[in-house]
Amino acid sequence: MDNQTGVDSSGFEELGLRPQLLASLSALGYEEPTPIQREAIPLLLRGHDLLGQAATGTGKTAAFALPILEKIDVARSKPAPSALVLVPTRELAMQVSEAIYKYGHQLGAKCVPIYGGQPIGRQIDALRRGTHVVVATPGRALDHIRKETLELGDVEMVVLDEADEMLDMGFAEDLDAILESLPAARQTVLFSATMPPRIEKIAREHLSEPVRVTIERKASQPGSIPLVRQTAYMVPRFHKPAALGRILDIEAPEAAIVFCRTRGEVDQLTETLNGRGYRAEALHGGMDQEQRDRVMGRVRAGTADLLIATDVAARGLDIEHLTHVVNFDVPSAPESYVHRIGRVGRAGREGVAITIAEPREQRMLHNIERLTKQKISFEKVPSVEALRAKQMELTTENVREALGLPDLVAFDEVIDELSKEFSITDIARAAIKLAHDAEQSTLEEVEIPDLSVERPERGGKRERDSFRDREHGGKRERGERFSGKTSRLWVSVGRKSGVRPADLVGAIANESGVPGRDIGVRIFDSHSVVEVPASRAAHVIDSMRNTIIRGKRATVRHFKED
């Protein structure tokens, strides 16, 4: 008996599937149904409408694909679609279509994916040749319905996969229109990672007496390490790119997705991280399909370390070797956070979810904690000293590995020549420095302000003082870290002038006396924007009137929002 479900767990044979499907599953290495498959497949085979809540990675594609394939009529030479699967993104349409092909190959099942970014004429030709199953994004499905190139009269089952994501992407009206175009006597299946009120509304309007199936996330055993380690860092906005780079240096992810809010943020952060030595790729809605395919090819091949993406552009992507998910901004919807971190920590591997937060985003973090019933651990951004220690550790490991190489004697001639002038120790130091500088970032690093001390405990009193009191030498004194209101200033010199963050921070600190740790910097091509304590902004502007930075006189004024 299965300890979780109380059902005989001898495999897929018990679920009533065709021999051809069982043979395909066996060839693919499938041995035991997952919980969602064990519960959903018998219900769907009996014709029930189903409302399923299951996270990404639980096996829900097979949970609806196998019943679809069990019911199709493979005898027809030119079949009309008997099943329609709606998904939020092109990538997911391709994945689901590929899965249906693999499961149904021995049956001779035909499946056509239709989505935007591909010539519609090619899709029309494929539909005219006949297919048992259509997997579609809502917008392109509606295009075909309006052109009358997608026949719906024989559809017996419609599946809404990742329904919450489709609603988040603005497909609510498209879904209603598609569902209204389908035969009334049909089976409707809805899968969603979350069940917000709008999903319940769709279920009430379009499902008939649905059976609910909920697969909870497996709770960690007491004392065990959770599969997804969730951490957050509270930093000022202008320090976020530097903070992210520092955190990634310490974490050293095998592969990571960094989620941003806007296309512009994606492009700028990609440039920043590439400048730090990472192989970062951008992915957003401003790219055409050919560009997107090239990016994903490099990510899946392992020739890119980081994928910097907007939420919408990355939906439906499945990267097998993904180890880290980073929220460069706190998601406004807690459900989005849950969906993002569900991409890691699969198949028994530990994953890491990192959030770079600003003080104004505290409330959203609390909402996420309430939804997930999990505490997000707040950590301090690694110090420059910690970063240097990590870099030295990596260099030590690289040299240790090199010492095991078989062809080191080829360099004896170099050592013999140099040892006439220098000691072996000095030669080793120089060689290690060259190796270190070749592998590690040589950017000038500044300490990044940590604001996590301001985070109020849940249910506790919010500290209103912009400084924190602490004990020192038996008396009370004000803490030195600034964490109050800030102002942004525009500076007339930028990247084209050769300006670096350290140049601006140093100039402002030297001329105005504002501590470098209280200054945030963001450098653009023709100008820069700095963030300083609001109470010192006028003083900084006055102090910088005659300042020369990188050989150019700098003009400083209050930053004006566009």
pLDDT per position as a tens digit, 294-340: 888 888 888 888 999 887 666 666 677 788 999 998 887 777 788 78
- As a whole number, mean pLDDT of residues 355-382 equals 83
375 in Cβ contact with 369 (< 8 Å): yes
Residue 526: which pLDDT band, with cuts at 50, 70 and 90? Answer: confident
| pLDDT tens-digit series, residues 409-448 | 888 888 888 888 888 888 888 888 887 676 665 555 667 7
Mean pLDDT of the residues in the chain: 81
pLDDT of residue 459: 38
- As a whole number, mean pLDDT of residues 352-377 equals 83
Give me the residues paired with residue 476 across strands: 471
d(CA 427, CA 446): 30
Instruction: For residue 250, give every residue at least 6 positions away whose Cβ sits within 8 Å of its Cβ, in sequence order, or none.
Output: 382, 386, 387, 390
In angstroms and rounded to an integer, the radius of gyration of the C-alpha atoms of the chain is 29
Q: Helix H segments across 276-410? A: 289-301, 311-314, 334-341, 362-372, 384-402
Q: Helix H segments across 322-383? A: 334-341, 362-372
Q: One fold for both 12-214 and 228-383?
A: yes
Closest of 48, 138, 53, 129 to residue 92, by C-alpha:
138
Tokens 């497909």, residue located: 171
Residue 322 backbone phi and psi in degrees, to 5: -65, 130
pLDDT at 7 over 60: no
197 in Cβ contact with 167 (< 8 Å): no
Q: Sketch the domain layout of the chain as residue ranges.
A: 12-214, 228-383, 385-439, 486-558
Residue 66: which pLDDT band, with cuts at 50, 70 and 90? Answer: very high
pLDDT of residue 471: 29
Instruction: Confirm or reject CATH 3.40.50.300 for domain 228-383, answering yes or no.
Output: yes
Residue 56: which pLDDT band, with cuts at 50, 70 and 90? Answer: low
Which region among 15-19, 259-263, 353-357 has the lowest average model confidence (pLDDT)?
Answer: 259-263
pLDDT of residue 480: 38
Tokens 């304590």, residue located: 533
Residue 348 backbone phi and psi in degrees, to 5: 80, 0
pLDDT of residue 408: 85
520 in Cβ contact with 239 (< 8 Å): yes
| pLDDT tens-digit series, residues 91-144 | 788 889 988 999 998 999 999 999 887 888 999 999 999 999 999 999 999 999
| pLDDT tens-digit series, residues 226-259 | 478 899 998 888 788 988 988 998 888 888 999 9
pLDDT of residue 30: 81
pLDDT at 467 over 50: no
pLDDT of residue 19: 92
Architecture of domain 486-558: 2-Layer Sandwich (3.30)
459 in Cβ contact with 490 (< 8 Å): no
What topology does CATH give the domain 12-214?
Rossmann fold (3.40.50)
Structure tokens at 323: 């180890």
pLDDT at 183 over 90: yes
pLDDT of residue 445: 63
| pLDDT tens-digit series, residues 385-415 | 776 777 677 777 778 878 888 888 888 888 8
Return the higher-pLDDT residue of 39 and 165. Answer: 39
pLDDT of residue 177: 93
Neighbour order of strands in the sheet with 486-491: 520-523, 528-533, 486-491, 556-558
pLDDT at 222 over 50: no
d(CA 141, CA 526): 45
- As a whole number, mean pLDDT of residues 332-351 equals 73
Closest of 180, 164, 213, 246 to residue 450, by C-alpha:
246
Find the distance separating the first CA and the last CA of the chain, reported in whole Å: 65
Structure tokens at 528: 């820069």
